[in-house]
Amino acid sequence: MKPRDLVTRSGPFLGLVGVLALFGLLIGPGFFRPANLDLITRQTAIVGIAALGMTLVIAAAGIDLSVGSTIALATVVIALLLRSQTSPALAALAAVGVGAFCGLLTGVLVTQLKLVPFIVTLGMMLLVRGAAKGLAQEQRVEAPGTWLNDLLRTLPAGEGLLVPSGIWTFLALALLVAGVLGHTRFGRHLLAIGSNERTARLCGVPVEGCKIAVYTIASALAGVAGVMEFAKLSVGDPTVAIGLELDAIAAVIIGGGSLTGGKGTVFGTLVGAVLMTVIQIGCSQEGLPNWVQQIVTGGVIVAAVTLDRWRQGLPGG
């Protein structure tokens, strides 16, 4: 591997190490206590799962602004189903299915009406949010407690799983998505569409089918993120996760993705997502107010893209 490649691939990771070291210095070794690491992973899971799908969409030079709304809809769907005595597994599956359906709709609109994904998903963002509020009659939906609520619950010490099952799900999905993007024809096709759609078409890549598939998968993953969000809240909340899509996009970009497509790795995205969580948690434990966190996170995003440009010497971002 050439030195430049090494820097390109490990850039976000080095950034994460730097930020961890910074908070380690500021807060002391207590920052690395297991409880804190547990907190970091649990807080990363929701945006992280959403960002997995976003990685695929952005690799294909698309964008999905409806992720936060899809998560909210998923929590409402689960709560309503649980209230009507549906089994938790079925309720969770339904939430993922509803997410997938939203993505299918997005994909069809993007490919058949030849609309810009930014506009379509901006519309879907409002549409899905509205649907969630309507279903929930504009209030939180209480639901009976089930094992779904344990997905992100800290385990009592000494239990075999180390981290909650929701985190294992997150990691398994990350491996799966990384495998799809890096080692399948479909993954190559997505990157080719993102890199140069005309070349992809010329080479016989089923461009429309790939786009429909990628929005469906991404929204299904947003549905999974919705399950995790429900686990955290234990109620259905139609106003939750507003703006979460922007965090997911930021994670992808910090991790080396490019909004012009053709780039992005799951590993980078995970690092980007963890980096943002670490900044949040570190800042709040250091006693810094929320507005400082926001300024720092904003700075990190701009710095990441600037560094990426500078490394490549190419227009991008």
What does the binding site for another protein look like in residue numbers (CB under 8 A)?
183-189, 191-192, 195-196, 198-206, 262-263
Nearest one of 157, 153, 198, 178 to 61, comparing CA atoms:
198
Nearest one of 75, 111, 115, 110 to 95, comparing CA atoms:
75
Spatial CB neighbours of 17, under 8 Å, sequence gap ≥ 6: none
Cβ closest to another protein, residue 236 vs residue 264: 264
Q: How far apart are CB 205 and another protein at their closest, in Å?
A: 7
Cβ closest to another protein, residue 38 vs residue 208: 208
Q: How far apart are CB 1 and another protein at their closest, in Å?
A: 9
Q: How far apart are CB 307 and another protein at their closest, in Å?
A: 18
Cβ closest to another protein, residue 191 vs residue 220: 191
Cβ closest to another protein, residue 190 vs residue 225: 190
Tokens found for residue 3 = 């030195």
Q: How far apart are CB 68 and another protein at their closest, in Å?
A: 30
How far, in Å, CA of 79 to CA of 63, rounded? 28
How far, in Å, CA of 172 to CA of 151, rounded? 14
Judge whether 148 and 88 are in contact, CB under 8 Å.
yes
- Long-range contact pairs involving 107-114 (C-beta distance under 8 Å, separation at least 24): 107/211, 107/212, 107/213, 107/214, 107/215, 107/216, 108/212, 110/62, 110/211, 110/212, 110/215, 111/207, 111/208, 111/211, 111/212, 112/208
Cβ closest to another protein, residue 7 vs residue 202: 202
Cβ closest to another protein, residue 82 vs residue 210: 210
How far, in Å, CA of 269 to CA of 52, rounded? 7
Q: How far apart are CB 91 and another protein at their closest, in Å?
A: 30
Q: How far apart are CB 308 and another protein at their closest, in Å?
A: 13
Q: How far apart are CB 189 and another protein at their closest, in Å?
A: 8
Cβ closest to another protein, residue 111 vs residue 146: 111
